[in-house]
């Protein structure tokens, strides 16, 4: 008997290999098996929805998405729900970061992500991959007309943790800074994460987190792995993630998550 009715999977370092590819033949076969058994497949990512949609061009309408670390939910090709940063809070954060020239922010919205034209060129090049739906603006002093999900911020590696701590103290209860690796962090609502988004999506199908198997490798997967009825940390994942997961999946470069699913479904 298959011990889950839904699958939630992180992208970078989990589903994707380091070169951003995945075994499309195996995935297509597994997605068909899941559809036959009425098992939902959910991408749970900190990435922009458009980035993950492009990773699944042929399949995305048969899948569901918990994007932007739980801020934006898409099911059956349609918006299910979204959370947003209050506009006045966005303005405060812009002012705060403007006083710290070592910080380079990208503002992630529902219609587009936004990058300032004077941003560091290396940061812009990296963000163009992760934020394929984006616009370059003169500055964030004049905010575009959009719904805002989060900031992604580039920072010198040695200042990552101290900056995260400073923001979490200054904006406590209003915004939460979570590091996605030394050199960058996200600013999101403190009550939102992948587990919160997944719980909401599962409820729309009359399922609970107990019905879920989840796969992840990094810090923004912790809540999801703790909450899922069955959880797998990737072999290449952090020690923190491995401590909270029920089991270990093979390395992402060996299609580890897909191989685990194949053992259950094929």
Residue numbers annotated as active site: 10
Instruction: Say if residues 92 and 140 touch (Cβ distance below 8 Å).
Output: no
Is residue 246 helix, strand or coil? Answer: coil
| Residue 68 to residue 86: CA distance in whole angstroms | 16
Closest CA to 74 of 84, 82, 59, 64: 64
CA atoms within 13 A on the CB side of 168: 13
Closest CA to 10 of 190, 219, 246, 260: 219
Listing DSSP states for 106-156 in one string gives EEEESS-EEEETTS-HHHHHHHHHH-SSEEEES-TTS--SS-EEEEEEE--
* Helix 256-265, helix 24-36: angle, nearest 10: 40
| Residue 98 to residue 92: CA distance in whole angstroms | 10
What values do phi and psi take at 4, rounded to 5?
-155, 155
| Residue 85 to residue 95: CA distance in whole angstroms | 15
| Residue 8 to residue 195: CA distance in whole angstroms | 10
């Amino acid at each position: 008997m298959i011990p889950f009715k839904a699958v939630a999977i992180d992208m970078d370092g989990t589903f994707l290999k380091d070169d951003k590819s995945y075994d499309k033949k195996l995935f297509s076969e597994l997605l068909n098996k899941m559809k036959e058994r009425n098992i939902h497949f959910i991408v749970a990512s900190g990435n922009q929805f458009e980035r993950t949609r492009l990773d699944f061009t042929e399949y995305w309408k048969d899948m569901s998405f918990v994007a932007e670390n739980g801020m934006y939910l898409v099911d059956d090709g349609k918006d299910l729900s979204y959370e947003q940063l209050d506009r006045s809070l966005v303005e405060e954060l812009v002012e705060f970061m403007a006083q710290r020239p070592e910080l380079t922010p990208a503002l992630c919205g529902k219609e587009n992500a936004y990058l300032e034209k004077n941003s560091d060129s290396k940061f812009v090049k990296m963000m163009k991959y992760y934020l394929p739906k984006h616009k370059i603006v003169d500055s964030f002093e004049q905010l575009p007309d959009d719904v805002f999900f989060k900031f992604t911020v580039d920072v010198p590696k040695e200042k990552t943790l101290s900056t995260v701590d400073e923001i979490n103290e200054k904006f406590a209860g209003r915004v939460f800074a979570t590091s996605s690796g030394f050199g960058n962090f996200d600013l999101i609502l403190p009550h939102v994460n992948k587990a919160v988004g997944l719980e909401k999506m599962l409820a729309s199908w009359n399922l609970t987190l107990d019905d879920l198997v989840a796969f992840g490798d990094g810090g923004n997967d912790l809540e999801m792995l703790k909450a899922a009825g069955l959880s797998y940390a990737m072999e290449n994942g952090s020690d923190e993630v491995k401590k909270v997961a029920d089991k270990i999946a093979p390395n992402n470069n060996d299609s580890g998550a897909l191989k685990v699913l194949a053992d259950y479904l094929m």
